[in-house]
Amino acid sequence: MNIESLKLKKISALWIIVILVLFIASIVLGILMRLNQGKVIEQSPLTFYTNMTTHGLTMIGIWFAAGMVAVNYLLQRYVKTSYGVNLFAFILTVIGVVMLWITTYAGKFSTGWTFLYPLPFRDLGSESWSTPLFLISLTVLGVGWLVWSVSLMAQILKKYTLSQAFAWQHFKSNASVETPPFILITTVTLIGVIASLIAAVIVIILYFAEYFSHGDFVNDALLMKNLIYFFGHTIANEMLYLGLAVIYEIFGEVSDRPKWKMTWYISLAWNCAMIFILTAFFHHLYMDFVQPQALQIVGQLASYLASIPSAAVTVFSIVAAVYGVKVRWSIVNLLFFLGVAGWVIGGLGAVIDATISNNIMLHNTLWVPAHFHTYNAMGNVLFSLGFFYWFSTQYVDKLVLSKLTKYTLALLIIGGIGFLMAFYVAGANSIPRRYSTYPVELTSGPYLAKVGALFASIYLIAILIFFYNIAKRCFVILSASSR
Amino acid sequence: MFRYFICFFTLACFSFFVYANDNHSELREEQNIYGKIYNAPLHLSGSSKVTSVESLYSRKPLIVALVFTRCYGICNPYLLQLSENIKQLQSNTDFNVLVVSFDPRDNLKDMTNLAKQYRLENNRQWNFATTDSINEFINSIGFNPKWDSITQQFDHDALLVGVNEKGLITKNLLGIRTVDDLQLMIRSIHNVFIPSYRLPTKSNIFSCFNYDPKTQTNRPGLGLLFVALPAIITFLIVIIIVIKSKRAAA
Amino acid sequence: MQQNSIMLFFMLLVGIGTIFFVSIFMSSLNADKDSTGVKNLLKKRFWFTLILIVVLGIFAAATLPKSPYFTFANETPSTVIHVGTMQFSFFLSTKPIDPKSPSGETIEIPHDQLVEFRVTSFDVNHGFAVYDPSMRLITQVQAMPGYVNNLRYKFTEPGKYHIFCLEFCGTGHPVMQATFKVI
């Protein structure tokens, strides 16, 4: 084992432990929110909303980072990646998250992860220093991740030409060089990640401009909303694709199946996905009638079209790899398979919500958290957990499917389904999202919140068991010396 | 790149301060929307018969202008602007204009002279009229002139009222306005639904879209460039990386 | 009850999806050691993709014309209600609302007549969501500072309607509400 790969392993193990600890803390915050909505505990609205802000931003941050860690680790198989940049991103992420938690818990910053303009300037109850510190913490996170993404991109483009990285040569009948699917997906995803982070940078600059002008310079609320969702929607979507890149790379390997080859349709699908994903965010502005109708329709069509390449290529490939074939099932590919199922079901909920005529009934009801929790908690998280397992066990011990693991998976599924159903039913019952307590007229709200909290706790138990299994192996990797 | 961005940004901020203006006209323009205009009997200049407001708007949607002929103030420039704006329109035949006096002293001869002043006495689109029910008529619009006995003048707004074929007020315009605003009014008297509009109080250069009534579409604003900027910068970053790695290889 | 049909439709899709994934998984567990799996993969993928595109195309064509920007666009409303929003209250009035000293009034809207809400915000982004007497969301629009959104709706049932804020606007967000009557 050479020093370079050991260093990468150690930093990845460190990332995984930090991510899982923050994940558990954020789940607890989520359960507290549901308990408060269910009137089981009583917190002030300010506490509820600081919890909500912390929960949202931390979750997006850690699962994006988890995808990046996995991609960075596997990219080492094809190109040389920079350990220094990985470490730099880690340090900035930790600093950024600490600053974020200070703004929310010491500064009572509570605008939600969307921090829609001009709410951070009129956030009632928060300390005056919390808004600039919040913007600084976002800057720190953004800079760390931007440098990381650009560095990985640069490493890919050092080895592959631009057209090879996008696998354009596969449109011709006989491609001389094969682009591994992993490289293509990583390239496409990094493009989206960089674009979304730049949108965040622009938002932060515009916010600071208004902050330092002391009211002389006023932003346009519509522009800010567009930019914030460009950033927020795109990064939340791209982190799923980071997880998919990992599946393309190691699903075959752990299942004793041939590795997926690049073909013209995989190339076409991912190139299309790159375009659609950058315009789908318009569906967040359906209820803003100021947005021209053309963009609203683009939003619906792009949201629909984005599902075609992923369903026709990724889901179909997974299904084809498994259907009627003896597969060596382990916790890793089980998590991947389950994650794809969760991702598809969340996608169905998303397509329904991305339809403008349905959105008017569902916009900002609990249907929205319902669908994105489906493809995060039951999709992306499972992709990353699968990778964590694979990563932590490949050098420490063998992958076996023990009885305990099966039961834990069952807990995860039961907890996940129950917790999500509470969201979906509430969404269909017109219960609004982001309410610390429900008005008396909305009778089903508190009841469903209790159900959600109960099942989320079951989900948490499963995650705690997974955390124990993964973390103990990661500590072994951390304490290993180069031999 | 970043330096250019900052320069551009400063320039943009500066132009914003220059153009920002504060008026709350929109507030009062919203008055009496979808209320019915009073069906006042009218004496049209150049005609001896008594007609009514309804017989005018039921033929074609109507733009109503309220004036008095002895006005030393806004009435003349405002009528001039209206006639000039209408001349600039590409299709200007799908509505009529009614100029009504709200001054009891005005008679038909005064109104005919006013029409002659703008050479509109033979233009069938324009109707100059007096009415015997001034108060009912102006109350239905929410128009409220104040008599100043010292100057012997009315203190009043320059108000244009858009009336559709059912006699409902669909839009008001206060003050001397551009041809674009007039277009918006003409669209509204033809019952075209406009799902949104900007408040004129903050003529912000960072807006993503500006509604253009002429083409009935949204013109892209500077803000839209900002929405596209992330994609553009990403594209540039990729190009720079490609060029750099090519140089390093060579 | 659009929400009920949405939920039913979604549960149907979820059911199909679950059966699909479970049967795929079972087929792998029950497979022989030397079975090779799916044959004619490319052909099947082609048909799957084609069906998906056609289904989504039909779905888009059926739903896009029902978008709220086009409903009631060719009718003239009988009344206009001005809606001003502020942290954390709604102001509804038949007269224009002055942002500097906003005030509202009790609103009664006749049923089966088209009403136009002109919704704006005087501070941060808010939502304007109308709930019918059985507490179902029936229509909504966003309230954005600097812009006025026109929302048209025809109420069919008389009764007491609630308005809730559906865009997070600060700590008082859940208490921000108002009512009006349809007669």
Name the band, by pLDDT with cuts 50, 70 and 90, for residue B91.
confident
- Distance from C45 to chain A by nearest Cα, in Å? 7
Asked whether residue C89 falls in the same domain as residue C122, the answer is yes
CB contact under 8 A, A220 and B248: no
Asked whether residue C22 falls in the same domain as residue C96, the answer is no
Name the band, by pLDDT with cuts 50, 70 and 90, for residue A29.
very high
Q: According to the model, what pLDDT value does residue B22 have?
A: 35
Instruction: State which residues of chain C have pLDDT below 50.
Output: none
CB contact under 8 A, A125 and C145: no
Q: In this model, does residue B92 exceed pLDDT 80?
A: no
The predicted model gives A458-478 an average pLDDT of: 92
Q: In this model, does residue B114 exceed pLDDT 80?
A: yes
Count of structural domains, chain B:
1
* CATH number assigned to the domain comprising residue B91: 3.40.30.10
Name the band, by pLDDT with cuts 50, 70 and 90, for residue B205.
low
- Structural domain contains residue B196: yes
- Structural domain contains residue C73: no
Q: In this model, does residue B2 exceed pLDDT 50?
A: no
Range(s) of the domain holding residue C61: 2-27+39-66
Q: Does C150 touch chain A (CB under 8 A)?
A: yes
Asked whether residue C53 falls in the same domain as residue C128, the answer is no
CB contact under 8 A, C49 and A312: yes
Q: Are C157 and C111 in contact (CB under 8 A)?
A: yes
Asked whether residue C153 falls in the same domain as residue C178, the answer is yes
Residues in chain A closer than 8 A to B206 (CB atoms): 219-220, 223
Q: In this model, does residue B5 exceed pLDDT 70?
A: no
Q: According to the model, what pLDDT value does residue C70 have?
A: 87
- CA end-to-end distance (rounded Å), chain A: 7
Convert the pLDDT of each residue in B121-136 to its tens digit: 888 899 999 999 999 9
Q: What are phi and psi of A52, to 5 degrees?
A: -65, -45
Asked whether residue C99 falls in the same domain as residue C163, the answer is yes
- Structural domain contains residue C74: no
Instruction: Give the separation between CA A149 and CA A337, rounded to whole angstroms.
Output: 27
Please count the residues of chain B: 250
Q: Are strands B96-101 and B62-67 parallel, antiparallel or unpaired?
A: parallel
CB contact under 8 A, A199 and B196: no
Q: Are B163 and B61 in contact (CB under 8 A)?
A: yes
Name the band, by pLDDT with cuts 50, 70 and 90, for residue A398.
low
Q: In this model, does residue A20 exceed pLDDT 50?
A: yes
Residue A347, C-beta contacts closer than 8 angstroms, at least 6 positions apart: A307, A310, A311, A375
Q: According to the model, what pLDDT value does residue B13 have?
A: 43
- Structural domain contains residue B178: yes
Residues in chain A closer than 8 A to C143 (CB atoms): none
- Structural domain contains residue B236: no
Flag the least confident range among A192-196, A272-276, B175-179.
B175-179
- Structural domain contains residue B29: yes
Of the candidates A424, A429, A336, A418, the residue with the CA atom closest to the CA atom of residue A383: A336
- Structural domain contains residue C46: yes
Q: In this model, does residue B17 exceed pLDDT 90?
A: no
CB contact under 8 A, C95 and B164: no
Range(s) of the domain holding residue B89: 23-203
Chains meeting C at 3+ CB pairs closer than 8 A?
A, B
Asked whether residue C175 falls in the same domain as residue C100, the answer is yes
Q: According to the model, what pLDDT value does residue B21 have?
A: 34
Measure CB to CB from residue C33 to each of A296, A311, A326 and give the nearest one. Answer: A326
Q: In this model, does residue A25 exceed pLDDT 50?
A: yes
Q: In this model, does residue A460 exceed pLDDT 50?
A: yes
Q: Does B36 touch chain C (CB under 8 A)?
A: no
- Structural domain contains residue C116: yes
Count of structural domains, chain C:
2
The predicted model gives A38-58 an average pLDDT of: 94
Asked whether residue C90 falls in the same domain as residue C115, the answer is yes
The predicted model gives B188-205 an average pLDDT of: 69
DSSP state at residue B36: B
Asked whether residue C95 falls in the same domain as residue C7, the answer is no
Determine which of B206, B215, B234 to mutate to test the interface with A (most A C-beta atoms within 10 Å).
Answer: B234
- Structural domain contains residue B119: yes
Determine which of B14, B19, B206 to mutate to test the interface with A (most A C-beta atoms within 10 Å).
Answer: B206
Contacts made by residues C5-13, CB under 8 angstroms, sequence distance 24+: C6/A352, C6/A358, C6/A361, C6/A362, C6/A428, C7/A424, C7/A425, C7/A428, C9/A352, C10/A348, C10/A349, C10/A352, C10/A424, C13/A345, C13/A348
Flag the least confident range among A139-143, A367-371, B40-44, B197-201.
B197-201
CB contact under 8 A, C56 and A304: yes
By three-state DSSP, how is residue C86 classified? Answer: strand
Determine which of B226, B236, B239, B247 to mutate to test the interface with A (most A C-beta atoms within 10 Å).
Answer: B226
Instruction: Delineate the domains of chain A, giving CATH numbers in brackets.
Output: 3-479 (1.20.210.10)
- Structural domain contains residue C162: yes
Determine which of C139, C148, C150 to mutate to test the interface with B (most B C-beta atoms within 10 Å).
Answer: C148
Q: In this model, does residue B8 exceed pLDDT 60?
A: no
Asked whether residue C15 falls in the same domain as residue C84, the answer is no
Q: Does B93 touch chain C (CB under 8 A)?
A: no
- Distance from B12 to chain A by nearest Cα, in Å? 10
- Distance from C71 to chain B by nearest Cα, in Å? 10
- Structural domain contains residue C107: yes
Measure CB to CB from residue B230 to each of A154, A198, A219 and give the nearest one. Answer: A198
Flag the least confident range among A13-17, A80-84, B151-155.
B151-155
Name the band, by pLDDT with cuts 50, 70 and 90, for residue B213.
low
Asked whether residue C86 falls in the same domain as residue C16, the answer is no
Measure CB to CB from residue B242 to each of A162, A220, A226 and give the nearest one. Answer: A162
Tell me the torsion sign for CA atoms B182, B185, B190, B195. Answer: positive
Q: According to the model, what pLDDT value does residue A412 have?
A: 95
The fraction of chain A above a pLDDT of 90, given in percent, is: 70
- Structural domain contains residue C145: yes
Asked whether residue C87 falls in the same domain as residue C9, the answer is no
* CATH number assigned to the domain comprising residue C104: 2.60.40.420
- Compare A367 and B2 and report the one with higher pLDDT: A367
Residues in chain A closer than 8 A to B231 (CB atoms): 195, 278
Instruction: Supply the mean pLDDT for chain A.
Output: 91
Instruction: Give the separation between CA C122 and CA A5, rounded to whole angstroms.
Output: 57
Convert the pLDDT of each residue in A182-223 to its tens digit: 999 999 999 999 999 999 999 999 999 888 887 778 888 889
- Structural domain contains residue C58: yes
Name the band, by pLDDT with cuts 50, 70 and 90, for residue B23.
very low
Convert the pLDDT of each residue in B43-59 to its tens digit: 988 787 889 999 999 99
Instruction: Give the separation between CA A146 and CA A39, rounded to whole angstroms.
Output: 41
